A and B are shown apart, each in its own frame.
Chain A
Amino acid sequence: MTTTMVMATDIVKVLGEGAGRVEALKSINLSLAGGELTLLMGPSGCGKTTLLSVLGCMLSPTTGTVEIRGRSTTGLDAEELAEVRRNHVGFVFQSYHLFPTLTAAENVRLALDVRGDHSPLSRVKAEKALATVGLSHKANAFPRGLSGGEQQRVAIARAIVGDASVILADEPTAALDSENGLAVMTVLAEIAKNPARALFIVTHDPRIISFADRILRIEDGRIVSDQRGGRIGAVRSLKYAS
């Protein structure tokens, strides 16, 4: 039995005002289950990143509700939304967004530090997270000394170190070559097996379809298809190739 980690109901998001007013999301209904890797695909400007921001509690929906592990985020102020993010949401960004002055281990530990976890155990957790992404040997390296794929894996370690309920990834392989993209997706797919965690990836990259348990397609702010199950599983064995 799967657990619903994120539930979005009737989400509408309006951006801008007056002549620049755009309805970026239109009546989105969506739930993300633990142990599932969901891809969100669609053309540029269709609302993918806006939906990611809403699900990640960075943007509040104009109407509709978002629940993270059963807790509604409606009416929460900026600080309360930040609290939801630090306790339940992990982010992986296209440009990694690692801190150049911190080592890999410190970058990972930062996600715990902002929670107020400065204990010696936080170092152990960071080492474990780096081990999960296969970068134990790079713990003391600075981002400039890491390849793009390695930097993205450090970012993944940062996202998972706090046992987030949902990992939201924005084009995690877009800046990577095939080899590094495969390595990153392999790590993400492994992470997605955890039933206490949902993985939601926004992507343009058709190479990663084979890793998905579920694929959502969005156009003009609406989800137009929701594919899941066997058909996708059948292509999982396909080689990650450009």
Chain B
Amino acid sequence: MTLILTLASRNLFHDRVRLVATVVGIVFSIVLVTVQLGVFLSFERMVTTMIDHAQADFWIVPAETKSFEGSSLLAGRERLQALSVNGVTAAIPVVVGYASWRKPNGGASTPVFVVGTPEATAGLQPWNLVEGSLRDLGVPDGVAIDQSYFDELGIAQIGERAEIDNQKARVVAVTKGIRSFTTMPDVFTSIERARTYLGVPPDEANYFIVRVAPNGDAAAVRGQLAGRLSDAEVLTPEQFRRRTRQFWLFDTGAGAALLGSAILGIIVGTIIVAQTLYSSTKDHLKEFATLRAIGSSRTYILKVILSQAFISAVIGFSIAACIDLTLVKFTADAALSIIMTPGLTLGLFVLTVVMCAIAAISAIRVVTRIDPVLVFAQ
């Protein structure tokens, strides 16, 4: 086995203080990047969670809708136009909007996001029900909320009453794990109650979920539908997801801020590792000159330095990964959790190695210019 790895690792461990500085730099950088990218991934998933859980072949949305949460109203004729297209089996209205929740025991109001669909039709209904049933949403004033928002909404148990925009509401169903990426809890209710809470006229809706017969030609249906609608668009779920992500992640600047912080982490990490590798190389300059004097190629010396960078990367990444997993565990129930996927983990490892390799450039520049005659200097 070649001595390159032996030399690289022993050089690294020989100077423990510098190794610690290198590893701390890598760990700081990778943890920061992981947190930012993990939150980004989480955010990316959460902003489309309603679209993901809707049973839709297409969405009819008002023209120029930017996201699920922010749309104007459709007049309602779109539903009839959709149903008149051959192959369409359902056009389910969805009403969404912001309202004010007043806790049962009074106190300050809390803003909520109301989602209303016909409770008896599979369109966009609450999921992960742990108490109550979808049918219960049909009772007067019935709403479903997530158990994680009980404290925020002043609710202790199912059956309690509150007010939404000064109108009665009663918790008849409880979900688990439906967290909003905003600070506003989601409140599911029937389409009629949602219209009442939000002041939406009958027949009007923000969206219509279109369902196509199992043997229907979805593309043809979509084409016909789009041709008949004037002030609305027909989007596939994927298109709607992309548009919503684009709005929340980039148009608002939230995603860009997360990515910017991640890039900053990479830059800081690279600089720290570059500095320590550079000073380490400077300290071992005579050894590299000796290597050159005894005939080693530049490639051999580059391999030694890159091996040092790689070993640093592996150590730093391993420690960072442990910290990251702890963070993932601790934030699992938070409104905006940190998500670690196998792909992200692999990507971060590659990023760490690349970061350390880039950091080695300054050290490499020093050794490629090294003069073997240096060995004669006393």
Give the B-binding residues of A (Cβ under 8 A): 49, 52-53, 56, 58-59, 78-79, 82-87, 89-91, 93-95, 97, 99-102, 106, 109-111, 113-115, 118, 158, 170
Contact = CB atoms under 8 A, between A and B. Distances in A.
21 contacts: A49-B376, A78-B298, A82-B292, A82-B296, A82-B298, A85-B294, A90-B294, A91-B293, A93-B290, A93-B376, A95-B378, A100-B14, A101-B10, A101-B11, A102-B3, A102-B7, A110-B7, A111-B295, A113-B2, A114-B297, A118-B2
A173 B323 CA distance: 54
B2 A91 contact: no
Interface in B249-308: 286-287, 290-298, 300
B373 A59 contact: yes
Contacts of B297: 79, 82-83, 114
A113 B4 contact: yes
Nearest to A91: B293
B295 A87 contact: yes
B375 A93 contact: yes
Contacts of A97: 286-287, 290, 293, 375
B376 A53 contact: yes
Interface hub of A99, A106, A118 (most chain B Cβ within 10 A): A99
A170 B290 CA distance: 13
Contacts of B373: 53, 58-59
Contacts of A59: 373
Contacts of B7: 99, 101-102, 110
B81 interface: no
Interface string B342-376: 00000000000000000000000000000111011
Contacts of A91: 293-294, 375
A158 B291 CA distance: 12
Interface of B: 1-4, 6-7, 10-11, 14, 286-287, 290-298, 300, 371-373, 375-376, 378
Contact of A85 (B10, B14, B295, B378): B295
Nearest to B376: A49
Contacts of B294: 85-86, 90-91, 110-111, 114, 158
Nearest to B296: A114
The 9 closest A-B pairs by CB, nearest first: A86-B295, A101-B10, A114-B296, A85-B295, A97-B290, A113-B3, A118-B2, A58-B372, A101-B14
A59 B373 CA distance: 8
A109 B295 CA distance: 13
A105 B151 CA distance: 70
Contacts of B296: 82, 86, 114
A22 to B, nearest CB: 15
B2 A79 contact: no
B290 A109 contact: no
B370 to A, nearest CB: 10
B364 to A, nearest CB: 15
A63 to B, nearest CB: 19
A33 to B, nearest CB: 23
Contacts of A56: 293
